[in-house]
Homo-oligomer: A and B are copies of this chain.
Amino acid sequence: MTAPTRRERLRTATLSEIKDGARRLLVTGGIEAVSLRAIARDMGMTAPAIYRYFPSLEALVVGLAGDLYDELRQEVEAARDRSGPDPAGQLLEMCRALRRWAVGHPAEFTLIFGNPVPGMIEFADGCGDPDHPGARLGAVFLTPFVELTRGRPLPTPPAELLQERLGGHLAPLAANHGPLPIDVAYAFLSAWTRLYGLVAMEVFGHLGWAVDEPEALFETELISQLRQFRPAEPGDALPEGGARH
């Protein structure tokens, strides 16, 4: 672990300047505004110079996406750590943090959670690796979720039905995050897809026909969903109890 030589310092500085420029272009003009020539122009360089740092524009974008995953994960972890020890409260704040980041950084969210641009397809395919930034983000949510649901009956279809329909198809999840009870696995995937659907529809502008304040829908949905995991108490009118009258 020796001190970085002068060249190394310059190299890392240039590298982060490239990434910063790429992100600035992403934010201001969307993914299609990110071009090697524009980045180089902003840096007072010529485009081919960037090939000393990235083998292609796609590789640069993939690298940027990895950084964004990490940034989002740190944001979510910070929200969890600010919250108390209650896993339900942690999940609530984590979901809020996810949405806050997505709404505040729509271009960045779009890059990592939207339809994959060319280079991102391989990146998305690689998320079978537990070290993949996407898998690591998922793990942050999974941990308090498992704690929340531990040893508690879940509002899912019966385990036999889950086993029959889903049992043979959860190998990737188990490979990434270890074996899980099937009702926990299903409940987590259900919650995750709901969260994704809400946030993605808002960020992509697919909710404008219905609501003028997507945050209200998000909060309502969040509370409704978390209620389902509260322990049942006598005289406690669970939301879905309405169907029982």
Contacts and interface: CB of A to CB of B under 8 A. Distances in A.
Interface of A: 30, 32, 110, 113-118, 121, 124-125, 127-128, 132, 134-135, 138, 152-158, 161-162, 165-166, 168-173, 176, 186, 189-190, 192-198, 200-201, 203-213, 216-217, 219-221, 223-224, 227-228, 232, 237-240, 242-245
Secondary structure call for the A interface? helix
B209 A127 contact: yes
A158 B239 contact: yes
A134 B210 CA distance: 11
A220 B121 contact: no
Nearest to A152: B243
Nearest to A173: B210
A193 to B, nearest CB: 4
18 contacts: A116-B204, A124-B206, A125-B208, A154-B243, A156-B239, A156-B240, A162-B220, A165-B216, A165-B220, A169-B216, A172-B209, A173-B211, A186-B217, A189-B211, A192-B210, A194-B194, A194-B197, A238-B243
Given A115-B110, A124-B204, A197-B197, A212 B169 contact: yes
Contacts of A194: 190, 193-194, 197
